[in-house]
């Protein structure tokens, strides 16, 4: 008998390309998770149409309809409890959540961040990477905790920063890496290969150690 697949809710705010990568990966029969729902805090997020086309149930919890962060988070919590996911994947979900919400779902929430954490937490990561002059940049999948972009790291992908890069070129290179990294990190977490031990994520990986990425 195949192992039961983890139920995943994906939280989005915008375009939804990472969500689409997760939906595509979960369409493979051997992927250890199914995308049970996509929830957006913005009614006009492009992600919603992509999810609907893929046959994934969608819901909108519009943050503008609530007077406070606490009320929005309570509505999001209620929607998530309806879906009853094992794992909640943030995929370009651009809302800060209250500590009360985080406490309820901590240990089950994954986020993808467009930088090699702990460098470049927060916004405008690509512009700051260019300004700083780092030669390697990338993306991180990590557990969500109360401190923004600071939860235990599950997996990272590095890409070179090229001399001619502007923000768009660098963002596109990182985004392509995000689309490879997020399904892989979700699969490792869902299978229990990646798990939290003493505040850090350990990964039982059968893969060979990759060569160093050296640039230039």
Q: Using CB under 6 A, which of the segments 30-38, 108-116, 160-168, 195-203 binds ligand GAR?
A: 108-116
Q: Is 126 a catalytic residue?
A: no
Q: CB within 8 A of 169, min separation 6: which ones?
A: 162
Instruction: Mark residues 18-47: x for contact with ligand GAR by CB under 6 A, - for none.
Output: x-----------------------------
Distance CA(131)–CA(42), nearest Å, equals 31
φ/ψ region of 23 (left if φ > 0, alpha if ψ in -120 to 50, else beta) reads alpha
Q: Which residue is nearest to ligand GAR (CB)?
A: 92
Neighbours of 48 (CB within 10 A): 21
Could you tell me how many residues of this chain bind ligand GAR (CB under 6 A)?
A: 12
d(CA 5, CA 212): 34
Contact between 58 and ligand GAR by CB under 6 A: the answer reads: no
Subset of residues 134 to 173 that bind ligand GAR, contact rule: CB under 6 A:
none
Cα→Cα distances 197→12, 107, 140, 202, Å: 28, 12, 18, 7
Q: Which is nearer to ligand GAR, 38 or 187 (CB)?
A: 38
Q: Summarize as ranges the residues that interact with ligand GAR (CB under 6 A).
A: 14-18, 91-92, 112-114, 175, 178
Catalytic residue IDs: 113
């Amino acid at each position: 008998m195949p192992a039961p697949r983890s139920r995943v809710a994906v939280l989005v705010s915008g375009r939804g390309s990472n969500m689409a990568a997760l939906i595509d990966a979960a369409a493979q029969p051997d992927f250890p998770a199914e995308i049970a729902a996509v929830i957006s805090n913005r009614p006009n997020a492009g992600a919603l149409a992509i999810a609907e086309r893929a046959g994934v149930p969608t819901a909108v919890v519009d943050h503008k309809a609530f007077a406070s962060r606490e009320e929005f988070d309570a509505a999001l919590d209620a929607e998530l409890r309806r879906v009853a996911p094992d794992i909640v994947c943030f995929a370009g979900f651009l809302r800060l959540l209250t500590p009360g919400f985080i406490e309820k779902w901590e240990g089950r929430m994954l986020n993808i961040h467009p930088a090699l954490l702990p460098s470049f937490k927060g916004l405008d990561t690509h512009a700051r990477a260019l300004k700083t002059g780092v030669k390697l940049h990338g993306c991180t999948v990590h557990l969500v905790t109360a401190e923004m972009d600071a939860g235990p790291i599950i997996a990272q992908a590095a890409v070179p920063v090229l001399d001619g890069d502007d923000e768009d070129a660098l963002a596109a290179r990182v985004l392509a890496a995000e689309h490879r990294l997020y399904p892989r990190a979700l699969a490792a977490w869902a299978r229990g290969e990646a798990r939290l031990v003493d505040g850090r994520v350990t990964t039982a990986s059968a893969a060979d150690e990759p060569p160093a990425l050296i640039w230039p």
